Homo-oligomer: A and B are copies of this chain.
Amino acid sequence: MIGKADILRQLRNEIVTLELKPGSILSETALSERFRISRTPLRDVLKQLANENYIDVYPKKGNLVSYIDLESVEQIIYLRSTLEKDIVKTLASQAAPLPLKGVLELKEILGRQEEAIGQDRAHEAFLHWDDAFHKSLFALAGRVFLWDLIQQSNVHYARYRRLHLLKKEKLEALLGEHRLILDSITNRDIGPIDEIVQHHLHEDINAAYLRENFADYLNLPRLDSL
């Protein structure tokens, strides 16, 4: 038996992987037939999706998968950048010895990420372990609470990253920066952290590339009269 939580997870996944494209219509009756459930619990799911900006609700008209909002992307990048600089510096400079278990976990994750690069679904696997790495940093600093908080507003950023990684193979570069971050923690070298984290999270915020190639995924002033 599938429940509301499963439906929520599945729709979230389809939207975040762009399987459901921005602008797609999510009608209540269609979904209630697809998942063999009545409209009432399904509306709960849709309300949750709206809350996390996965969809936009137009009353009495319909529910659309939201367009990627670059403003939201920039704000989240700034938020994460500011937080993670502080978190990594804290980990690198704390008096207590680093928990061995934590460092091993980080190395393990980087190993998985390296494996992922060659595989079929390289991007999805890579992104999964990329999230795992950053979440692990938050966890070591006792800040999973904030990681989870950010995840609740992460749709636009998550989709942005997927489109961005299509441009060219930057996977190795990103992995290399992860290694630099881990090194500065284990070596307790605070110096370069700000710069590394800043560059790592900002990648190149290349709005122009997205505007050219994925204009119909973006939340832009729409010229309906064409």
Task: Looking at the assembled complex, report how far the CB atom of A77 sits from the nearest CB atom of chain B, in whole angstroms.
Answer: 11
Q: How far is the CA of A40 from the CA of B83 in the complex (A)?
A: 40
Decide yes or no whether A6 CB sits under 8 A from chain B: no
Assuming the contacts A44-B47, A51-B51, asked whether A145 and B71 have C-beta atoms less than 8 A apart, the reply is: yes
Q: How far is the CA of A149 from the CA of B40 in the complex (A)?
A: 28
Chain A facing B: main interface SS: helix
Assuming the contacts A47-B44, A51-B48, A153-B149, asked whether A79 and B83 have C-beta atoms less than 8 A apart, the reply is: yes
Interface string of A78-111 (1 = CB under 8 A from B): 1100110010000000000000000000000000
Decide yes or no whether A37 CB sits under 8 A from chain B: no
Q: How far is the CA of A58 from the CA of B83 in the complex (A)?
A: 34
Decide yes or no whether A143 CB sits under 8 A from chain B: yes
Residue of B40, B51, B71, B86 near A82 (CB, 8 A) is B86
Decide yes or no whether A72 CB sits under 8 A from chain B: yes
In which size bucket is the chain A interface? 10 to 19
Copies in the complex: 2
Decide yes or no whether A38 CB sits under 8 A from chain B: no
Residues of B within 8 A of A10 (CB): none
Contact surface of A with B, Cβ cutoff 8 Å: 40, 44, 47-48, 51, 71-72, 75, 78-79, 82-83, 86, 143, 145-146, 149, 153
Q: How far is the CA of A82 from the CA of B40 in the complex (A)?
A: 41
Residue of B48, B51, B72, B82 near A83 (CB, 8 A) is B82
Residues of B within 8 A of A82 (CB): 82-83, 86
Q: How far is the CA of A108 from the CA of B47 in the complex (A)?
A: 39
Residues of B within 8 A of A72 (CB): 145
Task: Looking at the assembled complex, report how far the CB atom of A52 sits from the nearest CB atom of chain B, in whole angstroms.
Answer: 9
Q: How far is the CA of A40 from the CA of B47 in the complex (A)?
A: 13
Task: Looking at the assembled complex, report how far the CB atom of A101 sits from the nearest CB atom of chain B, in whole angstroms.
Answer: 22
